[in-house]
Structure 1
């Protein structure tokens, strides 16, 4: 199953939702698709969707999917990568009224450089990336939370000796 999540910021992402709808209609995507469409006003005709999911609904859909198509939000990307999902990220772009600037290009670019995801900067590439992502091997996400905690503890201990 493919889970499409476009976040909860007050911006539409109709361009992505329409492309997926077209690919499903053309049978270029044949697996089940479910989307969390947020503030988008496009209503998909060929796959199930809900504007917003509560935490439990989101977790349930995420646990059942093997692929995630998302915007360039760090939370959405990291959440899916942590769960070992194949992630395709499409940046929201200012020119389409999807965000205030194009910072998601840089975010997605960095995640791709680290080999955590595949990016789709041109919506016409989505079909090809979906078709080929099953063959991609990604790096496993490793949390650095413990390192950060130890660094803070070391800093505090050094300050206590001064």
Structure 2
């Protein structure tokens, strides 16, 4: 099952939803697909969706999926990789009024460089991304929270 989550910020990401619809129509995607579409106004034709999910609904959809497709939001990416999900991240871009700037390109590049996700630069690469995640083994996410806390404690202790 593929779960698409587009976050809760007030930006649309119609381009990504349209790309998924097109791949389903072409028969490239034959998995069940469910999307949390957020503020997008594109209405998917070939998969189920809901504008927003509560925590329980989100956890249920994420739990069922083996592939998670998302925007370049840190929270969505980290949440999924912590659960061992195969993640495809596509950046929201300012030129399409999907965000105020293109910082998601850098975030995605960082996660991709650590072999944690399949990071794409554009929704047009989605077909290749789906093939890649089905064959690729990603590294396990390692939290650095303890390292940061230890560093802060050492600083405070002087």
TM range (shorter): over 0.9
Query: TM-score if structure 1 supplies the norm length?
Result: 0.94
Q: How do 1:12-27 and structure 2 match up within 5 A?
A: 12-27=12-27
Distance 2:130 2:49 in 1: 19
Gapped regions of structure 1 (runs ≥ 5): none
Q: How do 1:9-48 and structure 2 match up within 5 A?
A: 9-48=9-48
* 1:44-95 superposed Cα distances (whole Å, 9 cap, x missing partner): 0100100001111111111110101000000011011111111100000111
Q: Is 2:138 the counterpart of 1:138?
A: yes
- Quote the RMSD (CA, aligned, Å): 1.0
Partner of 2:125: 125
Distance 1:143 1:111 in 2: 13
Which structure has the larger Rg?
Answer: 1
Gapped regions of structure 2 (runs ≥ 5): none
Query: TM-score if structure 2 supplies the norm length?
Result: 0.96
Q: How do 1:41-80 and structure 2 match up within 5 A?
A: 41-80=41-80
SS of the residue corresponding to residue 101 of structure 2 reads: coil
* 1:5-28 superposed Cα distances (whole Å, 9 cap, x missing partner): 111100000000011011111211
Q: How do 1:88-103 and structure 2 match up within 5 A?
A: 88-103=88-103
Aligned length: 158
